[in-house]
Amino acid sequence: MNPMMKTVTYSKNIFLPVTDLCRNRCGYCSFRKELRDAHLLSRTEAARLLEQGALHGCSEALFTMGEAPWAVAGFDRLQAKSGIADLIDYMVELCEMAIEFGLLPHCNAGLLDREDLLRLQPFNASMGLMLETTAKVQAHERSPGKRPDHRLQYIAMTGELRIPFTTGILIGIGESMQDRIEAVGKIAQLQSNYGHIQEVIIQPLDPKLGTDLENAPRPEMADLCRTVEMARRILPAEVAIQIPPNLVDPRPALDVGANDLGGISSVTVDSINPDCPWPGEEELHHHLSAYSLRERLPVYPRFIALGWHGHRTRSLVSDLAGEDGLRAKKYIF
> In this predicted model, what pLDDT tens digit does every residue of 252-310 receive, in sequence order?
999 999 999 999 999 999 999 999 999 999 999 999 999 999 999 999 999 999 999 99
Cβ neighbour number for residue 94 with a 10 Å cutoff = 22
DSSP-assigned letters across all residues of 81-97: HTT-S-HHHHHHHHHHH
What's the pLDDT band for 331 if we cut at 50, 70, 90? very low
Task: Give tens-digit pLDDT for 76-114.
Answer: 999 999 999 999 999 999 999 999 999 999 999 999 999
CA-to-CA distance for 156 and 142, rounded, in angstroms?
A: 24
> How far is C-alpha 216 from the geometric centre of its chain's CA atoms?
23
What's the pLDDT band for 15 if we cut at 50, 70, 90? very high
∠ at Cα 269 (155, 257), nearest 5°? 55
Q: Is-contact 49 93, C-beta < 8 A?
A: no
Q: Is-contact 235 187, C-beta < 8 A?
A: yes
Q: Is-contact 25 142, C-beta < 8 A?
A: yes
Task: Kindly state the DSSP code that residue 259 receives in the 8-state scheme.
Answer: -
Smallest Cα–Cα separation from 303: which of 223, 212, 196? 196
**Once rounded to an integer, what is the mean pLDDT over residues 231-242?**
98
CA-to-CA distance for 162 and 151, rounded, in angstroms?
A: 17
Phi and psi at residue 217, to the nearest 5°: -70, 145
Beta bridge partners of 14: 61
- Residue 319 is predicted with a pLDDT of 96
CA-to-CA distance for 90 and 314, rounded, in angstroms?
A: 21
CA-to-CA distance for 80 and 29, rounded, in angstroms?
A: 27
- Residue 332 is predicted with a pLDDT of 39
CATH 3.20.20.70 for domain 7-320: yes
Task: Kindly state the DSSP code that residue 276 receives in the 8-state scheme.
Answer: S
Task: Give tens-digit pLDDT for 112-124.
Answer: 999 999 999 999 9
**Once rounded to an integer, what is the mean pLDDT over residues 14-29?**
97
**Once rounded to an integer, what is the mean pLDDT over residues 317-330?**
91
- Residue 333 is predicted with a pLDDT of 34
CA-to-CA distance for 207 and 306, rounded, in angstroms?
A: 40
pLDDT reading at 8 higher than 70: yes
Q: Is-contact 22 32, C-beta < 8 A?
A: yes
Alpha-carbon torsion 59, 110, 240, 273, what sign?
positive
Please state, in angstroms and as integers, the Cα–Cα distance from residue 133 to each residue in 118, 183, 256, 283, 295, following that order. 26, 6, 22, 32, 29
Average pLDDT, the chain: 96
- Residue 3 is predicted with a pLDDT of 60
- Residue 4 is predicted with a pLDDT of 74
Task: Give tens-digit pLDDT for 167-191.
Answer: 999 999 999 999 999 999 999 999 9
